[in-house]
A = this chain, B = another copy of it.
Amino acid sequence: MKDSAIQSLAAEIISEARAQGLTIATAESCTGGWIGKALTDISGSSRAYKGSLIAYHNSVKENLLGVPKDTMIEYGAVSEEVAREMAKNCAQVFGVDIAVSVTGIAGPSGGSNEKPVGLVHMAIAHDTNVKHHRYEFRGTGREDIRREAVLAALELLMAEMKG
């Protein structure tokens, strides 16, 4: 049921972006390409969606998305600061109007008291403005948490375009 929610929302996003002439890119860590998959499920998506950097390994966040190493060390890969850098740099690198970034802990391992499994930071960059959102998803397991993150990211994109 939730996958059909993803599909409808992805279709609405592509339609809205094309209507407004906006271009989109994504920077995905814990969702691993699922947002890109959802958007490119839609025929005609290439008119609005330019692509994604799946920065799964931390070195990719630094080398390809230009997240400063100091920011990674000081705040950790799953943090507001890194999410903001990812979104801002993704928009620049891909040359798009709007970019959304996702960095989180899908589990089952990798969680801590301070940063539990299900914690996901996202940021959305629109022109020079970058907004941050923090989530703690309660899904049962990796698949569920990733799905909730994909839905949330798509909702952010839609809300941003609706202004």
| Contact count band on A | 35 or more
Residues A32 and B36 in contact, CB atoms below 8 Å apart: yes
Contact with A56, one of B31, B32, B45, B64 (Cβ below 8 angstroms): B45
Copies in the complex: 2
Q: A37-B37, A64-B93 are in contact. Are A54 and B54 (CB under 8 A)?
A: yes
Q: What 1/0 flags go to A38-52 for Cβ under 8 Å of B?
A: 011101111001111
Residues B60 and A51 in contact, CB atoms below 8 Å apart: yes
Interface of A with B (CB < 8 Å)?
26, 28, 30-37, 39-41, 43-46, 49-57, 59-60, 63-64, 93-95, 107-109, 142-143, 146
Residues A51 and B43 in contact, CB atoms below 8 Å apart: no
Contacts A/B (CB < 8 Å), 24 sampled: A28-B33, A31-B37, A32-B39, A33-B33, A33-B34, A33-B35, A33-B36, A36-B37, A37-B37, A41-B143, A43-B109, A43-B142, A44-B109, A45-B56, A46-B57, A50-B56, A50-B59, A51-B54, A51-B60, A52-B56, A60-B94, A63-B93, A64-B64, A64-B93
